[in-house]
């Protein structure tokens, strides 16, 4: 048999009908829904008099709009409240399981799916959200879709898809102490660019990737979309299986044994061919900080802001010039001298328990700098929050001067009241530093949880390796 990549295996197992042009009607095993991209899809079903094809394949949560102050209070913003209530109403009407506000399992859709075992290896999984790539960490074919496609999946449990080209990103060697999955993915995007993965399904592999926990792998796959790829994935191994075991939606007993036997094959076969291979040396990767308005505008923490006059490509030089203007930064300035106003630890990239532990380790027994106006910790889900509280992390953060919040997307995109004011500069563990992403006129610097936590203590970025004794 011809050796196959993981992507090919996942694809082939889900083809309902193959079309002549290479596209296929793919079966979708799981759809996750949230309040922002689903109302028009449910409305479409209603108008056409259609029913969901397979109710139990869907799971809904509220996350984007929810306030991160007490979830028992009514939502103050009437427009946000309408959207949240619309999801509640749609789920009730159509019979979709929802973890709504006040449910301890509520949280960011990409944290909740894997945490519940609703994301399983070998599945196809979609959600009306680009960071659905996250779930690929479990050996799942997972990708973000638009609202029309959400409706298509609700109605038919399938999607017409074009097959992507295959890219292997192999990371050799080990990441240095205090250098995390976030630094790795930022460094990858820095090299291949935000459009580098367009048209590809990326598989992350190699020694450094194998060594990552599931949380780390999720961080990695989460930002595959920031490299332009619609999905990222990691082959199944013992770490994957240990992670899934015993989760509420995971198979049990004899079905579990059968599933595991099947999942062990969810790796790329030796000798399988990729359309493109990129190799990285993990040992060379430093803690990363973005300085611009696109995730590819990133550098090691020891670097200085680049000079657009030294960039040959005119379109790129122009992009850098605009970015520096928006960010109010000067070429040649060290990244460690950028003064920070706010710190956000959260988002589907970095709000799992391991991320909170890493940040807490940095701040334990210390104080947030005077110049920081607000430092938020927003756990990825209600269950992450409980776990962190059981470990006393909430107190570590509160005592240091961080605000300990309820789960949701929060300042990752500022649809709820957590956002930046014009001109404010934020060290953020989220995934997008686009203009206005965290609030109109706000300036975002992406970094790992430990780097963001340290920035809160100093009021500027520092090399976390010095802090943690790298």
Partner 1 sequence: MSIEPFNRHTGLVAPLDRANVDTDAIIPKQFLKSVQRTGFGPYLFDEWRYLDHGEPGMECSQRPQNPDFVLNQPRYAAATVLLARANFGCGSSREHAPWALRDYGFRAIVAPSFADIFYSNCFKNGLLPVVLDEGVVDQLFQAVYDASDYRLTIDLPEQVVTTPHGDAFPFTVDPFRKRMLLEGLDEIGVTLAEQAEAIRAYEQRRAQEAPWLFAAR
Contact characters 45-74, ligand SF4, x per CB under 6 A:
------------------xx----------
Partner that binds at residue 17, options ligand SF4, partner 1, none, CB closer than 5 to 8 Å by kind: partner 1
β partners of residue 81: none
Q: How many CA atoms lie within 13 A of 384 on its CB side?
A: 32
Question: CB under 5 to 8 A by kind: which of partner 1, ligand SF4, none does 198 bind?
Answer: partner 1
Q: Is 413 in the site for ligand SF4 (CB under 6 A)?
A: yes
Among positions 112-171, residues that touch partner 1 (CB under 8 A) are 120, 122-123, 128-130, 132, 143-149, 151-152, 155-158, 160, 162
Q: Residue 303 binds what, of partner 1, ligand SF4, none (CB under 5 to 8 Å, by partner type)?
A: none
Binding pattern for the stretch 33-52 against partner 1, x by CB under 8 A and - elsewhere: ---xx-xx--xx--xx-x--
State in angstroms the smallest separation of the CB of 248 from partner 1. Answer: 7
CB of 108 to ligand SF4, least distance (A): 5
Q: Counting contacts by CB under 8 A, is residue 65 touching partner 1?
A: yes
CA distance 11 to 422: 45
Kindly give the interhelix angle for 78-94 and 39-48, rounded to the nearest 10 degrees. Answer: 40
Assess contact for 117 and 247: CB atoms under 8 A: yes
Pairwise CA distance, residues 390 & 383, whole Å: 10
Q: Taking CB under 8 A as the rule, does residue 19 contact partner 1?
A: yes
* Residue 406 Cβ vs partner 1, minimum distance, rounded to whole Å: 19
| Residue 284: CB atoms within 10 Å | 10
DSSP 281: E
Least Å distance, CB 290 to ligand SF4, is: 15
For partner 1 (CB under 8 A), the number of binding residues is: 81
Using CB atoms within 10 Å of the CB of residue 397, give its burial: 0 to 12 exposed, 13 to 18 middle, 19+ buried: buried
Bridge partners (DSSP) of residue 161 are 24
Q: Using CB distances below 5 to 8 A depending on partner kind, what does residue 151 bind out of ligand SF4, partner 1, none?
A: partner 1
Q: End-to-end distance of the chain based on CA atoms, in angstroms?
A: 46
Site for ligand SF4 contains 129 (CB under 6 A): yes
Q: How far is the CB of 410 from partner 1 (least distance, A)?
A: 12
409 scored as a contact of ligand SF4 (CB under 6 A): yes
Separation between Cα atoms, residue 91 and residue 208, nearest integer Å: 41
Say whether residue 411 binds ligand SF4 (CB under 6 A). no
Cβ proximity to ligand SF4: between 108 and 335 the closer is 108
DSSP E strand stretches across 276-335: 276-281, 288-290, 298-300
Closest separation in Å from C-beta 380 to ligand SF4? 8
The sign one gets for the Cα dihedral 413, 419, 420, 422 is positive
| Range 236-275, binding partner 1 (CB under 8 A) | 248-249, 251, 255-256, 258-259, 262
Q: What SS3 class is residue 165? A: strand
Tally of residues, the chain = 470
- What is the rounded distance in angstroms from the CA atom of residue 359 to the CA atom of residue 187? 20
Would you say 438 and 420 are in contact if contact means Cβ atoms under 8 Å apart? yes
Choose from partner 1, ligand SF4, none: what does 146 bind? Cβ within 5-8 Å by kind.
partner 1
Residues that bind ligand SF4 (CB under 6 A): 63-64, 108, 110, 129, 131, 347-348, 409, 412-413, 430-431
């Amino acid at each position: 048999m011809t050796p196959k990549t993981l992507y090919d295996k996942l694809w082939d197992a889900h083809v309902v009908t193959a079309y002549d042009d290479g596209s296929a009607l793919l079966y979708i095993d799981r759809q996750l829904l949230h309040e922002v991209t689903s109302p028009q899809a449910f409305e479409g079903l209603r108008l056409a008099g259609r029913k969901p094809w397979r109710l139990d394949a869907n799971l809904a949560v509220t996350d984007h709009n929810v306030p991160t102050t007490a979830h028992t209070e009514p939502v103050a913003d009437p427009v946000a409240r309408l959207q949240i209530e619309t999801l509640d109403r749609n789920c009730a009407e159509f019979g979709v399981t929802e973890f709504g506000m006040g449910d301890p399992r509520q949280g960011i859709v990409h944290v909740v799916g894997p945490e519940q075992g609703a994301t399983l290896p070998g599945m196809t999984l979609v959600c009306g959200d680009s960071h659905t790539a996250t779930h690929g960490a479990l050996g799942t074919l997972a990708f973000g879709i638009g609202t029309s496609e959400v409706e298509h999946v609700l109605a038919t449990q399938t999607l017409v898809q074009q097959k992507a080209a295959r890219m292997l990103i192999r990371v050799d060697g080990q990441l240095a102490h205090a250098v995390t999955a976030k630094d790795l993915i930022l460094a990858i995007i820095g090299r291949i660019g935000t459009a580098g993965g367009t048209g590809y399904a990326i598989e992350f592999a190699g020694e450094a990737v194998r060594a990552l926990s599931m949380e780390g792998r999720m961080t990695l796959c989460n930002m595959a979309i920031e490299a332009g790829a619609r999905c990222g994935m990691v082959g199944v191994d013992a770490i994957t299986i240990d992670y899934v075991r015993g989760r509420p939606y995971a198979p049990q007993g004899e079905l579990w044994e059968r599933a595991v036997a099947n999942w062990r094959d969810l790796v790329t076969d030796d000798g399988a061919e990729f359309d493109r291979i990129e190799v990285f040396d993990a040992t060379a990767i430093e803690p990363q900080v973005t300085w611009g308005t696109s995730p590819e505008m990133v550098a090691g923490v020891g670097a200085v802001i680049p000079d657009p006059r030294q960039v040959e490509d005119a379109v790129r030089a122009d992009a850098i010039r605009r970015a520096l203007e928006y960010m109010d930064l000067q070429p040649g300035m060290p990244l460690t001298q950028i003064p920070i106003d706010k710190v956000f630890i959260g988002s589907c990239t970095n709000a799992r328990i391991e991320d909170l532990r890493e940040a807490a380790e940095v701040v334990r027994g210390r104080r947030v700098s005077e110049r920081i106006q607000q430092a938020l910790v927003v756990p990825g889900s209600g269950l992450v929050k409980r776990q962190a509280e059981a470990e006393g992390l909430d107190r570590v953060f509160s005592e240091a001067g961080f605000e300990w919040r309820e789960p949701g997307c929060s300042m990752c995109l500022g649809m709820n009241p957590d956002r930046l004011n014009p001109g404010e500069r934020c060290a953020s563990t989220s995934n997008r530093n686009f203009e206005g992403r965290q609030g109109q006129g706000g300036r975002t610097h992406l970094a790992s949880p430990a780097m963001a936590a340290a920035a809160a203590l100093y009021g500027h970025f520092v090399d976390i390796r010095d802090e943690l004794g790298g």
